[in-house]
Amino acid sequence: MKIPKTLSALFLTIMTTTIAVGAEEKMTYEKAMASHKATYGKYSTQSITEAQSQKSWDDYKQRPELSTSGANGVISRKYKLIWQAPTSGGINTGNFTLTESFRTFDEIVSFGTMDNGNYYQHFRFTPLEYDIAVERKGYATMYERDSVSWWGKFAADNKSFVTAGENAKLYEIYGVTFTSDTSGSGSCTSGQTQTRTTYCSGSNLQTCEPGEDVKTCSAAGFWGTWQISRHPSCVTGTQQCR
């Protein structure tokens, strides 16, 4: 059946009005709030106050805690000489014994060179690092620099070092104790001195009277370099000491 144009226009007007009214009803504030509560209302009990939010931010670690080591002077190292070679030329083979257990200290520092005496340098390790090395390899490094090293293992007394191999020279070994020092005074007291005995070095030299080196703690609280206080008295070949 053909619908007259007038009646068709009337139907179109009624339908447009109905749709518009329906759209207006869906966009009312009340219906929007009802929809919001139905969707997000379940989260309302999980909200936090401004004070709680600020506290959570303040309690979160925004940066790491200040380190207690390094150059800030909070931790100082106290050095104690626990072994020294019998001659100033060091030793290049054999076993040796510390004056006390290496486990007494936080860290051990050894000083050595190549077999020809070049490149005097230090090497550091802790008792724990020593234990890890022995557990994995059966021995630990006492001194190492580049391609030269000295390795072995301590006996049960933790003082006697049994050398397994080496291609270096050893001179001194220090035990290091870490201590708190908020004053930043470093590793010694200003004016404090240390001495060490020196001997004649060389295959054709004999020591008649040992020499002595001395080093002094600076005003800033750090050890200076060794200075010769007295040279050792030496003779060569078959000469006799006076």
Nearest-angstrom CA–CA distance, 31 and 33: 5
Q: Which amino acid is at 81?
A: L
Nearest-angstrom CA–CA distance, 111 and 169: 9
The first and second tokens of residue 123, run together, are 């090497």
- pLDDT tens for the chain, 242 residues long, are 555 555 555 555 555 555 544 445 555 777 777 776 776 565 555 556 666 666 665 665 444 444 444 444 446 788 999 999 999 899 999 999 999 999 999 999 999 999 998 889 999 999 999 999 999 999 999 999 888 999 999 999 999 999 999 999 999 999 999 876 544 445 678 888 888 888 887 667 778 888 888 988 887 777 788 888 888 888 887 787 77
Task: Say what the pLDDT of residue 69 is.
Answer: 44
Q: What angle do CA 119, 124, 128 make, to 5 degrees?
A: 155
Q: Which domains are present in the chain?
A: 71-184 (2.60.320.30), 188-242 (no CATH)
